[in-house]
């Protein structure tokens, strides 16, 4: 049994009005894709934000390959190998595609440029648009850019928040396909997704969240065939 890359124990995330996540335990291993599914408000996004250190009152243990992330600011977590693809893409709109990629790299000049070319190989649509300002890209292209940007620092753990939101089905499929490929290189992917079916098709394991807690967990295949899933995602 491989050691978990990410080990979360007793995680609680609270904001002023919302108790988003309650005493949650979760493990993610290298090379696997874990899907977080659940209705909106279930706490998926808050969980990812809590793991990244982006606000909220967070209690509990977050261990990344043994290092405790609790209390560290997001920059430090990124440097320890956590990548983050935020909900809504949030590319740097005033910068070009290429600049978005370059700024995310922590390598020196030559390695940085090489990494950028790797990204263009992985996402050919971006290569075509490398000099376009990011606000001109389509939703799907921006999503690709957001993922590629997070990959530039070669994260060990990639947190992806609602990547298919607002995307046309074809673009959504592309993104999900890419995420599978990333896991194949050895990184772990923790994916929060509203589109449960697409997420389950891409994932190895799935965690169903409801009201800030884990309601079910298992292999993606098992959950995809589960009727309870249907019910609980729509409430009740």
Partner 1 sequence: MEFLQLALNGVALGAAYALVALGFVLILNATGAVNFAQGDLVAAGGFVAVALAGILPAPGYLLLPLVAILMAALGLAVSAVAYWPLRDRPPVAVFISTIALGIIIQNGLNGLFGAEPRAAPPLFAGGQLEFFGLVIARQSLSIMATAALLIGAVQLLLTRTQLGRRLRATAQDREVAAALGIPVGAMIALTFALAAALAGAAGMLLANRYFITPTHGTDFIVKAYIAVVIGGWGRIGGALAGAMLVALFETVVAAWADYAVATGLLYVAMLTILVFRPRGLFGEAEGRRA
Partner 2 sequence: MTARHPVRAWLGRDVNALVLAGAIGLLAWPFLTGDAYSLRLLTVAGVYGLAAIGYQFVFGHAGALSLAQGAFFGLGAYAAGIMSVRTGAGFEVTFPAAMAAAAVLAALVALPVLRLRSHYFALATLAVGQVALVIAVNWESVTGGANGIPNVPVPSLFGASVGRGWPMLLLVWSLVAAGAVVARRLTGGLTGAALLLMREQPMAAEAAGIDIRRVRFAAFLLSALYGGAAGALQVHTVRVVSPEVLEFPVMVMLLAIAVVGGRTSISGAILGAVLLIHLPEWFRPLERYYLVAYGVALLAMIVAAPWGLMGSLSRARQRWLPEPEPPLPAAGRVPAGRPPARLAIAGLTRHFGGVRAVDGIDLVVEPGESVGIVGANGSGKTTLLNMIAGVETPDSGRIRWGKSDIAGLPPYRIARAGIGRSFQALKLIDGLTVLDNVAAAAWRETGGPDRDAARASAMALLQALDLAPMAWRRCGALPPGLRRRVEIARALIGGPALLLLDEPAAGLTAAERDSVAGTLAALNAGGTTVVVVEHDLAFLEGFVARIVCLDQGRIIADGAPADVRSDPGVISAWLGQPPDEGHKHD
* Interface positions with partner 1 (CB under 8 A): 52, 54-55, 73-75, 78-79, 84, 86, 90, 92-95, 99, 102-106, 112, 133-135, 149-150, 153
Q: 191 near 34, Cβ under 8 Å?
A: yes
**Shortest reach from residue 18's CB to partner 1, in Å:** 18
Alpha-carbon torsion (15, 84, 11, 177), positive or negative: positive
133 or 166, CB closer to partner 2?
166
C-alpha to C-alpha distance for 36 and 194, rounded to whole angstroms: 9
Q: Which stretch binds partner 2 (CB under 8 A): 68-76, 94-102, 113-121, 157-165?
A: 157-165
3-state secondary structure (DSSP) of residue 214? strand
Is 52 a residue that touches partner 2 (CB under 8 A)? Answer: no
Q: How many residues of this chain bind partner 2 (CB under 8 A)?
A: 37
Is 194 a residue that touches partner 2 (CB under 8 A)? Answer: yes
**Shortest reach from residue 229's CB to partner 2, in Å:** 8
Q: 58 near 70, Cβ under 8 Å?
A: yes
Position among 24, 172, 188, 191 found at the interface with partner 2 (CB under 8 A): 172
Residue identified by tokens 């700024």 is 103
Q: Site residues for partner 2, window 59-118 (CB under 8 A)?
A: none
Is 227 a residue that touches partner 2 (CB under 8 A)? Answer: no
Position among 3, 10, 18, 57 found at the interface with partner 2 (CB under 8 A): 18
Residue whose C-alpha is closest to residue 44's, from 197, 205, 227, 213? 213
Give the footprint of partner 2 on this chain (CB under 8 A): 15-20, 39-41, 139, 162, 164-166, 169, 172-173, 176-177, 180-181, 193-199, 201-202, 211, 220, 230, 233-236
């Amino acid at each position: 049994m491989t050691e978990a890359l990410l080990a979360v124990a007793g995680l609680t995330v609270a904001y002023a009005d919302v108790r988003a996540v309650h005493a949650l335990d979760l493990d993610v291993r290298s090379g696997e894709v874990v899907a977080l599914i659940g209705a909106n408000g279930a706490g998926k996004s808050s969980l990812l934000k809590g793991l990244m250190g982006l606000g909220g009152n967070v209690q509990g243990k977050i261990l990344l390959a043994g290092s405790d992330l609790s209390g560290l600011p997001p920059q430090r977590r990124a440097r320890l190998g956590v990548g983050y693809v935020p909900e809504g893409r949030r590319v740097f709109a005033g910068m070009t595609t290429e600049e978005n990629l370059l700024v995310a790299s922590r390598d020196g000049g030559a390695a940085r440029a090489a990494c950028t070319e790797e990204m263009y190989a992985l996402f050919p649509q971006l290569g075509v648009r490398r000099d376009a300002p990011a606000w001109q890209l389509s939703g799907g292209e921006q999503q690709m850019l957001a993922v590629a940007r997070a990959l530039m620092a070669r994260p060990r753990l990639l947190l992806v928040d609602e990547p298919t939101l607002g995307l046309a089905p074809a673009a959504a499929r592309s993104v999900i396909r890419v995420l599978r490929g990333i896991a194949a290189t050895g990184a772990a992917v923790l994916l929060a997704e509203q589109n449960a079916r697409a997420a389950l098709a891409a994932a190895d394991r799935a965690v169903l969240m409801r009201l800030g807690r884990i309601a079910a967990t298992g292999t993606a295949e098992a959950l995809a065939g589960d009727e309870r899933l249907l019910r609980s995602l729509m409430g009740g």
